[in-house]
Structure 1
């Protein structure tokens, strides 16, 4: 199983039920120029709400609604800053330990950690996770059911045995993931209710790079990211010749997505039988766009997707910069590797 936790930010899109999520990420790095050695972020429903890095050594809110946390607790940011400064030092030591474990000296190396929980407000089911990764692979994962650590690689076994023997650590993790994390998730959602629980419909366009290219149905500006978009012919959903894209984040916090339709074998007289259907969770009425050649935006010989390209580049940068934030996770979780 691949960790890669960063992909969760772009690829988790629940379409059944309303799932709320609280995720924290840490990343420490070695050999990466012009990049902080340690970065930490926390996200609610995949919206970044707090940030810390080793350059500023300061925890900062990323959403205005998080100011309510400071109103409830004036020492909130200073406490998180102090905690993350300590964690920064531990992670710096951990990456040195990992390099020794894997017999590495120079080069670029990344040590990651993710923890958090998801809460479904329809079924009240809570899922949680607490895991470490190194250089793009799983390193350690905590099994909440057995309260033991799983070591996917040989180099992690020594740490697994050490942490399995620390029952107070396991008890702390169990308490956090079963009780405290869902409580804080609900509190954060309440802080950002007007933003996180809003609904925004997209604008939908038909795009085509050239006359021989697939036709793309592109929706942008919607919120939340729980959405589906399909092509239908005569009312029947199509799967063959259809290429759905990822849901991507826009600079303003809304989302965009697209789905391609290959019409190379279709005759123009049949185009009127095709429609693109966009469905947003919580909205009963679908957005239906008929396939009309006159409505297609095209630019023969050049790309018609500059916005999407920019968003993908931003997504790549996000994958490099997103990392774990230790908000409301106590000191015992910040363990040095043995």
Structure 2
């Protein structure tokens, strides 16, 4: 039975890779860069461009490998971004005129990209615009029409639906250029992006009456599953699963708690914690064992490490405001676009209906909420409140013995 369960769970851990381009265009905001473009692969920022420097620059060392195949890549990418800025600005200005909103402060964002399933080779695409921090309009490639996500977007839909060249452009980019580029960058950065790191798994318990926490840390990528099982059956009752959280070194951690109140002492050995990582067939299985030695020392050290990590993340979130934080100070962030033809040129779409692609953030969000101080790109809305330090920090803890 458990082998069947294992097969089913691994179906939900297929290895998906993503390439996203995020554009942000602002107007009427003093001291805020007018145009910012960010390229992201598997959540890692790889290229940055802004209208102040007018230079496309790599954000990871391995990204420079692109020049082995294309020596003029950075010059061409810079020219493309300059052109995209002008094109995006022209589209926005035309749209604002239709909305009778030509004055004042505005933030417009675009999110363009694709997901690629490494196992099935299936590609899904997405293309969404946001206006003033809210979902605004999205492209349905199957029907080659724009879908309004706001009442205001109706007049913009009328403008975009007749722009057939632009639809053709988006179709070509999303269905060909995006997945091809994604695979190339995965190859350039395979030692980092394609790695599979299994975690260190520990069983923690603060007091004899507390739940036992199965804690996995140091795994990569962030597509993982953790659960408790009794004999060969997955448990759902008396189990609380935590979210996958980032570590300061770019790896991830997660946990799952098991309530022991209804478990007899002689049955402990029938319970196990199972960790599964996408792309890895072998599970990491840790059996509940009351005879586990040196528990207090091991758990104390682990909790101290977790406490330090938690405090580090809080400090980092409060003090590490780099790259995009100043440019998108308004905090309204979505996914953003590629090179686009100027109004009147560009056209048709492809497979993949509109999907989740916009992050909802108030326009007065604090600058520190925009980016976590790492190389990983996170939705601003997920970072507005620092995580508290792990429970049990600076308190005595032990595995029940």
Which deviations, in whole Å up to 9, do the C-alpha atoms of 1:146-187 show, x marking residues without a partner? 111111211111111111101101111111222222221222
Residue equivalent to 1:148: 145
TM-score normalised per structure 1 = 0.76
The 3 A distance-change label for structure 1 pair 232 and 171 is same
Where do 1:2-13 residues align within 5 Å? Answer: none
CA contact (8 A) 2:20 2:40 kept: yes
Name stretches of at least 5 consecutive residues in structure 2 with no aligned partner.
1-9, 345-401
Pick aligned residue for 1:81 from 75, 78, 98: 78
Higher radius of gyration, 1 or 2: 2
Pick aligned residue for 2:20 from 23, 43, 57: 23
CA distance in 1, matches of 2:246, 2:100: 36
CA distance in 2, matches of 1:32, 1:292: 60
CA contact (8 A) 2:137 2:148 kept: yes
Where do 1:249-328 residues align within 5 Å? Answer: 249-266=246-263, 270-292=267-289, 294=295, 297=299, 305-308=307-310, 310-311=312-313, 324=335, 326=337
CA distance in 2, matches of 1:237, 1:99: 58
The 3 A distance-change label for structure 1 pair 305 and 254 is same
Residue equivalent to 2:158: 161
Pick aligned residue for 1:330 from 305, 315, 339: 339
Residue equivalent to 1:134: 131
Residue equivalent to 2:7: none
Which deviations, in whole Å up to 9, do the C-alpha atoms of 1:93-144 show, x marking residues without a partner? 849966994979989x753321111222332221101111234432110000
The 3 A distance-change label for structure 1 pair 96 and 106 is farther
> How big is the shift at 1:73?
2.3
Residue equivalent to 1:230: 227
CA distance in 1, matches of 2:71, 2:82: 19
The 3 A distance-change label for structure 1 pair 51 and 199 is same
Name stretches of at least 5 consecutive residues in structure 1 with no aligned partner.
1-12
The answer on 1:68 being equivalent to 2:65 is yes
> How big is the shift at 1:38?
4.2
Task: Name the structure where strand makes up a greater proportion of residues.
Answer: 1
> How big is the shift at 1:199?
1.8
CA RMSD, 1 decimal: 4.1
